[in-house]
A and B are shown apart, each in its own frame.
Chain A
Amino acid sequence: MHWVPGSDRLRAVCHCSAARDFEDPVALWDWLLAHPSGHRPAVPEPTPVPAAAGVS
């Protein structure tokens, strides 16, 4: 569970990689413990285009 920097929100990350933000730690726990109900894998971050490898 991460306290989202600069906010009052909590981000829960399940072992299945599902993640969701909450304002309430009790609701957060209810959601985590309900796995797999309502858990969808987190949307992956866009993969950055790799820079061309230099040749030396």
Chain B
Amino acid sequence: MTSIPRDQWYVAAYGREIGPALFSRTVCGESILFWRTASGRVTAVADRCVHRRFPLSELPTRLVDDQVVCGYHGFTYGADGRCVAVPGQTRVPRTARLSTYPVVEQDSFVWVWIGDPVLADGTTIPRAPWLTAPDYTTVSGMEPLAARFGLLVDNLLDLSHETYLHGGYIGTPEVASTPITTEVDEAAGIVYVSRRMADAACPPFYSRSTGLTGRITRWQDIEYAPPCLYKLHSRIAPVGCLPDPDGTDLDAFHVEVVYAITPETEHTTHDFWAVARDFALDDEEVSAFLAESNRTVVLQDVAALDVLERVVASEEDGYQELSINIDTGGLAARRILARLAGGRVHQVTS
């Protein structure tokens, strides 16, 4: 049985990736063809000709006036997926239609609905407004991960691994040694994990971007909206500097780290990452540094999780794990994901 929840919204791409040209990406095992129409709207249809299954993203398929002409036999489709021409005859079979996918472009992402289109409601898509807000500057990217998406969820819900896997970048001893608080909003299906370090070393990721040189107050507040959107609200300030009672927080640095965790297949994942900051907005050096540093950190995770996938895949049935306090948030996420996928969570031991 699949572990990938259906009837869900997933990030398929950044809006910037999709222009007036054919673009293909596999989401939850479904190969989807995208392009931006003359009206500026992103359209998403199945990337397989209904005739002989030729991938429409492959040359010599071409896009002509918002119509896709299959490079194999010339079946021609409109942006609504409807076939408008077939070779050698005037009658177009009524069933000649590409399935279409509901699409919402929001917060720099192109979201696609995987499942029954009747159930798609764009208002339920979780938001990440910082990624396009004028008072934030964002750097972002996407790395392919040769591991199941659940391993990335485990990784991001337990940031104590920063101390070991990402030492010298974002990890310091205090991350692993500071207790967490975990909260689950069952009705909304959201997992919160909070780690508040009152007096911590400032890792290079933040010292070089903020200019802070001494010890810091570092807050990591995770908000995970399964299955796809993960947000880390990061607050950095000199030790002892707290928000004002009314909530204003002008003396702190805020970084919103956003991940979109999109299954490509059962065993591979699109790892979208974005870092939005509310300081040094026009400093291109800071942008370049944060982009390079975060990509390095993501690739450290990718290397570790690719190895882990090979191990877990070889031990698929009934492998044993040990869970401790740091895993409370990850266990919460697993249970919600299992519920969304309609199955049972892998039983773990402690």
A residues sitting closer than 8 Å to B (CB atoms) are 1-5, 8, 10, 15, 24-29, 33
Contact = CB atoms under 8 A, between A and B. Distances in A.
B327 A25 contact: yes
B248 interface: no
A26 B181 contact: no
Given A1-B182, A27-B350, A10 B325 contact: yes
Interface residues of B, number: 17
B325 A25 contact: yes
Given A29-B335, A33-B335, A1 B350 contact: no
Interface in B202-244: none
A26 B323 contact: yes
Nearest to B187: A15
Contacts of B181: 1-3
Contacts of B179: 3-5
A43 B199 CA distance: 34
Nearest to A10: B325
B299 interface: no
B133 interface: no
A3 B331 contact: no
B180 A3 contact: yes
Contacts of A15: 186
B183 interface: yes
Contacts of B323: 24-26
Nearest to A1: B182
